[in-house]
A and B are shown apart, each in its own frame.
Chain A
Amino acid sequence: DQQVKQNSPSLSVQEGRISILNCDYTNSMFDYFLWYKKYPAEGPTFLISISSIKDKNEDGRFTVFLNKSAKHLSLHIVPSQPGDSAVYFCAASATSNTGKLIFGQGTTLQVKP
């Protein structure tokens, strides 16, 4: 049972344009969400998070949007840069439970110069 789903395995955008990565979840108990970026042969690194009490969180070029009614979140990267090329994972946690993080399958982003 895949509780966190990233339905697009890959995404290609032009440098300077917006990258939009999507994530859907099924567990209504999830109330904390994070995005991670992973380069080859490295561990994932934290990008940005959002609590369910908010619908938007922004950090520089990165913005995460949360639509609780649709059980959907998205990561916007504006403007996209070639160094953003990596695998992006979304993750969700039910803080009222154990708090363990469940990850999606990942989306590979390629930003072309």
Chain B
Amino acid sequence: GAGVSQSPSNKVTEKGKDVELRCDPISGHTALYWYRQSLGQGLEFLIYFQGNSAPDKSGLPSDRFSAERTGGSVSTLTIQRTQQEDSAVYLCASSSVIPGELFFGEGSRLTVL
């Protein structure tokens, strides 16, 4: 596709369950970011992948959160033992130039009941 694709667009889960969110970046983009936006809040940085470098995980809020990027392309954000405070829109973005414009997906809205 031409843009950043995220799935699922909506996910409702029960507290304590694990969830996986997927991001397909724009082809050829070496940088990939995950952010989240909680209700009424700004964009909170979670994790950043750049080429083959070790990811910058400094924004992950707890060890229940992890992410991987396979083959320098698709990324999966995994949240284990979800809590209600994890409810948010999770946004993925990619970029071909550092620094440069990020292209965002439409987000995955996670609701933890």
Contact = CB atoms under 8 A, between A and B. Distances in A.
Contacts of A34: 101-102
Interface in A45-60: 45-46, 49
Interface string B78-113: 000000000000010100001111111111000000
B4 A100 contact: no
Contacts of A78: none
Interface of A: 6, 32, 34, 36, 41-46, 49, 89, 91, 93, 95, 98-106
Interface of B: 4, 31, 33, 35, 41-45, 48, 50, 53, 56, 91, 93, 98-107
A100 B33 contact: yes
A46 B101 contact: yes
Contacts of B103: 46
Contact of A43 (B48, B53, B93): B93
Given A43-B105, A91-B43, A103-B44, 7 more contacts: A42-B106, A44-B102, A49-B100, A49-B101, A98-B50, A101-B33, A102-B45
The interface centre, meaning the residue of B33, B41, B93 with most chain A CB atoms within 10 A of its CB, is: B93
B43 A103 contact: yes
Given A44-B91, A100-B48, A103-B35, A95 B41 contact: no
B42 A100 contact: no
A93 B99 contact: yes
Given A43-B104, A103-B35, A98 B48 contact: yes
A47 B41 CA distance: 20
- Which 9 A-B residue pairs are closest in the complex by CB-CB distance? A43-B104, A105-B42, A103-B43, A32-B99, A99-B98, A46-B101, A100-B48, A93-B99, A43-B106
Contacts of A89: 42-43
Contacts of B106: 41-43
A108 to B, nearest CB: 10
Contacts of A36: 102, 104
Contacts of B4: 43
